[in-house]
């Protein structure tokens, strides 16, 4: 039995095996699924409060790099309290869905946020990864999965993430053509606080303008197939946190560096080129 399924049996997910299969089937067909009201709102309120100063610091330090377009920022979260929370990154239902998509022994490689602010614009429609074998002109089964959840309610006004259903397995020119001709619509995902999206990062999508005065942070937890290396993302694990990790978390986080202190990290975000 895989570590993930063992975790579900021990930790007790909310969903049955059949429901987990169904969520994974949605991702395989549509490119994404949403587990409604899955994460506790109290936790997300605490994350939002802890994130606010990190966003301000990011904007002050490297906002000029405009790493995701006008007034839109990608900020890595420190793997420490409150963000290094196994109730979130080891959620048994989420991991069970991810395992069906990314295969046994997948790894966790990313914990970050995307935040549009007032003044943000429509991004170009994009994927978060190039194909594995571009010379074939074909897509493969999933290999890179994003788990996204907002730290606020997502409304039509504050910059909903838009996605084009069922575009992840198509060659990009064909997928783009479907979107451009309107045969495949970009759907704004209005998410409640607590909703969790699991998505194949190849589903065509874009960020939209936030027309309110409040930031709209969306967390992204990245999981990859066991053989995939993504040098643009890393989770620096402080030793004192590493010592508290479960067996499953240690295995899942195995390719990330353990550091003595989070004070000595790279001075700017490494993940600048993001759209494929
Ligand atoms: O969070 C969003 O609105 C989308 C951001 C996005 O797709 C990106 O920056 O790659």
pLDDT band at 4 (very low <50, low <70, confident <90, very high): low
Interhelix angle 92-102/17-30, nearest 10 degrees: 50
| pLDDT exceeds cutoff 80 at 9 | no
Nearest CA to ligand 1 atom 1: 114
Under a CB-based contact definition with an 8 Å cutoff, are residues 31 and 200 in contact?
yes
| pLDDT exceeds cutoff 90 at 274 | no
- Tokens 């900020």 belong to residue: 75
- Compute, in angstroms, the gap from residue 114 CA to the centroid of ligand 1: 6
Compute the average pLDDT of residues 155-180.
97
Under a CB-based contact definition with an 8 Å cutoff, are residues 204 and 127 in contact?
yes
DSSP-derived secondary structure letter, 265: S
269 ligand 1 Cβ < 6 A? no
Residue 151 in tokens: 């730290």
CA–CA dist 5, 270 (Å, integer): 34
150 ligand 1 Cβ < 6 A? no
Q: Which residues pair with 237 in a beta bridge?
A: 258
Domains, the chain, in order of start with CATH, read: 35-259 (2.60.120.620)
Do the bridges between strand 32-35 and strand 196-200 make them parallel or antiparallel, or are there none, so unpaired?
antiparallel
CA–CA dist 164, 154 (Å, integer): 18
CA–CA dist 255, 25 (Å, integer): 28
Task: Flag the least confident range among 117-126, 165-174, 221-230, 262-271.
Answer: 262-271
Do the bridges between strand 162-164 and strand 186-188 make them parallel or antiparallel, or are there none, so unpaired?
antiparallel
205 ligand 1 Cβ < 6 A? yes
pLDDT band at 2 (very low <50, low <70, confident <90, very high): low
SS3 for 90-111 is: CCHHHHHHHHHHHCCCCEEEEE
Highest averaged pLDDT of the listed ranges 61-75, 82-96, 261-275: 82-96
Q: Closest ligand 1 atom, CA of 218?
A: 1
Q: Residue 230: phi, psi to the nearest 5?
A: -120, 95
| pLDDT exceeds cutoff 90 at 63 | no
Q: Closest ligand 1 atom, CA of 116?
A: 3
Q: Which pLDDT belongs to residue 266?
A: 79
201 ligand 1 Cβ < 6 A? no
pLDDT band at 32 (very low <50, low <70, confident <90, very high): very high
**pLDDT tens-place string over residues 196-252:** 999 999 999 999 999 999 999 999 999 999 999 998 899 999 999 999 999 999 999
199 ligand 1 Cβ < 6 A? no
Nearest CA to ligand 1 atom 2: 207
In this structure, is the dihedral angle defined by the CA atoms of residues 51, 52, 56 and 57, taken in order, positive or negative? Answer: negative
Q: Which pLDDT belongs to residue 264?
A: 78
**pLDDT tens-place string over residues 84-101:** 999 999 999 999 999 999
Q: Residue 11: phi, psi to the nearest 5?
A: -90, -15
Compute the average pLDDT of residues 65-80.
92
Residue 183 in tokens: 């045969």
Compute the average pLDDT of residues 158-174.
97
DSSP, collapsed to helix, strand or coil, labels residue 258 as strand
C-alpha Rg value of the chain to the nearest Å? 18
Give the global pTM: 0.95
Q: Which pLDDT belongs to residue 6?
A: 53
Of 2, 200, 142, 10, which Cα lies nearest the Cα of 86?
10
Under a CB-based contact definition with an 8 Å cutoff, are residues 270 and 67 in contact?
no
| pLDDT exceeds cutoff 60 at 7 | no
Do the bridges between strand 218-224 and strand 186-188 make them parallel or antiparallel, or are there none, so unpaired?
unpaired
Q: How far is CA 216 from CA 50, 57, 194, 212, in A?
A: 14, 16, 14, 9
- Compute, in angstroms, the gap from residue 232 CA to the centroid of ligand 1: 16
């Amino acid at each position: 039995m895989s570590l993930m399924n063992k975790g579900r049996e021990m930790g007790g997910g909310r969903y049955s095996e059949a429901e987990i299969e169904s969520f994974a089937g949605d991702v395989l067909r549509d490119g994404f699924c949403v587990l409604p009201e899955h994460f506790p709102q109290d936790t997300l309120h605490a994350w939002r409060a802890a994130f606010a100063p990190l966003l301000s610091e990011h904007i002050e330090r490297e906002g000029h790099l405009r790493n995701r377009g006008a007034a839109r920022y990608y900020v890595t979260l420190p793997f420490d309290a409150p963000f290094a929370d196994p109730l979130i990154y080891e959620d048994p239902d989420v991991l069970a869905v991810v395992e069906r998509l990314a295969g046994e022994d997948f790894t966790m490689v990313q914990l970050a946020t995307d935040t549009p602010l007032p003044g943000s614009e429509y991004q170009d429609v994009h994927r978060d990864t190039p194909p594995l074998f571009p010379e074939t002109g074909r897509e493969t089964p999933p290999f890179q999965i994003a788990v996204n959840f907002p730290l606020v309610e997502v409304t039509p006004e504050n910059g909903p993430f838009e996605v084009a259903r069922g575009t992840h397995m198509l060659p990009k020119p064909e997928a783009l053509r479907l979107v451009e001709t309107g045969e495949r619509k970009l759907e704004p995902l209005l998410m409640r606080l607590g909703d969790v999206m699991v998505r194949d990062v190849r589903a065509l999508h874009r960020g939209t303008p936030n027309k309110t005065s409040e930031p709209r942070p969306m967390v992204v937890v990245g999981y990859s197939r066991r053989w995939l290396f993504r040098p643009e993302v890393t989770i620096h694990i402080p030793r004192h946190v590493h010592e508290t990790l479960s067996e499953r978390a240690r295995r899942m986080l195995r390719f990330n560096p353990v550091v003595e202190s989070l004070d000595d990290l790279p001075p700017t975000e490494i993940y600048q080129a993001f759209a494929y």
